[in-house]
Amino acid sequence: MFKFFTQRKWFLWSIGGTIVILLATWYQVQLDVKINEWFGEFYDTLQKALTEPNSVTEKEFIAYLFTFAKIAAVYIIVVIFSDYFTSHWTFRWRTAMADFYHDKWNDASSIEGASQRVQEDTLKFARIMEGLGAELLRSLMTLIAFTPILWGLSKSITILPWIGEVDHALVWVAIISALGGTLILASVGIKLPGIEYDIQKEEAAYRKELVLGEDFKESAQPQKITDLYGGVRKIHYKMYFHYLYFNAVKWSYLQGMVIVPYLALAPTIVTGAITLGFVQQIIRAFGRVETSLQYLVRSWPIIVELISVWKRLREFESKLEIDNSTEVIR
């Protein structure tokens, strides 16, 4: 699965491409930081304009909007380029895997489900890594960029409801709430990777029998198909049940987190110690840090699928190694 990073012929893409993706992602985060600063200035100006008539000219107000448009335009261009390049990068990764399996196809073709591993699972692996890996990278860099910003902004937020004085309170609220939610969701969804793996096994057996039935009349008899589909139905119903309570916990947590920063800011807001622009700036920075820390919570269903694909490909490669060892002995 990781020949892409170990074979010399792929170094330009694996190493060079990774550096390009890192730089593009970091630049996106820096633009997001500029947008966060803009929000603070803009809402302060908006508050001033609404509370003190004619204190802000129309030209000054529109200038703020054009400043945002310039930053947003660059951000869009960088995101489009980054997504395009990342798609090519992950397809090269898939190609490296496919080349490895193609070279060993004489041995691999005798393994049950080999064609599915080589075609479908490499495709899934590449697509999942494209989305999941890019999001992980963005989350890490966003965390690196916005945690110091939130730390600085939260200097003036020293009191939390029911708790009292806490230095840099919002940073600790973000860390504790996000990590707490991650631990809860991970424990609630611990059975999901195994269930996803079992689903793929049942679906593969069902599909294989149908494919054989296209060429051989003795295969895919009604009773056998019904039995195989019964296994598919059973494991899917099991998955639905486990996702029922997982999603109940997940969405309760995510919706509850919407009010957490406002709750933490309540003592400071009611005293009028901060401006509207400052509130917007700190809420946005809090959201970036919190969302980055919630990476596992928000990505868990995709991570479940990745673990399942990884287990299938690892099992496939283990069988290839065993077959090669047997061939050498002979």
CA distance 7 to 114: 23
Q: How far apart are CA 196 and CA 199, in angstroms?
A: 5
CB-based contact 138:29 (threshold 8 Å): yes
| Rounded-to-integer distance, Cα 313 and Cα 319, Å | 10
pTM, full prediction: 0.68
CA distance 48 to 60: 12
pLDDT at 180: 86
Torsion angles phi and psi, residue 164, rounded to 5: 105, -150
pLDDT at 328: 46
Q: What is the pLDDT tens value at each position of the chain, 330 positions in all?
A: 667 777 788 888 888 988 998 899 899 989 988 988 888 888 888 888 888 888 888 888 888 889 999 999 999 999 899 889 988 888 888 888 888 777 766 666 666 666 666 767 777 777 888 787 888 888 888 888 888 888 887 877 777 777 777 777 888 888 888 888 888 888 888 888 788 878 878 887 887 778 777 777 777 677 888 888 888 889 899 988 998 988 898 888 888 888 888 888 888 887 777 777 888 888 888 888 888 877 877 787 788 778 777 777 777 777 776 655 555 444
- Which amino acid appears at position 82 of this protein? S
Q: How many CA atoms lie within 13 A of 78 on its CB side?
A: 19
What letter does residue 156 receive in the DSSP assignment?
Answer: G
Q: Which two tokens stand for residue 245?
A: 């309570």
Q: Decide if 306 contacts 128 (C-beta within 8 A).
A: yes
Among 170, 140, 146, 124, which Cα is nearest to 311's? 124
Q: Where are the domains of the chain?
A: 3-329
DSSP state of 120: I
Residue showing tokens 């390009």: 20
The helix/strand/coil state of 217 is: coil
Q: How far apart are CA 254 and CA 8, in angstroms?
A: 44
Instruction: Quote the CA–CA distance of 136 and 121 in Å, as a whole number.
Output: 21
Cα 182 to its chain centre, rounded Å, is 13
CA–CA gap between residue 132 and residue 128 (Å, rounded): 6
pLDDT of residue 256: 86
**pLDDT for the residue numbered 206:** 82
- Return the CATH superfamily for domain 3-329: ABC transporter type 1, transmembrane domain (1.20.1560.10)
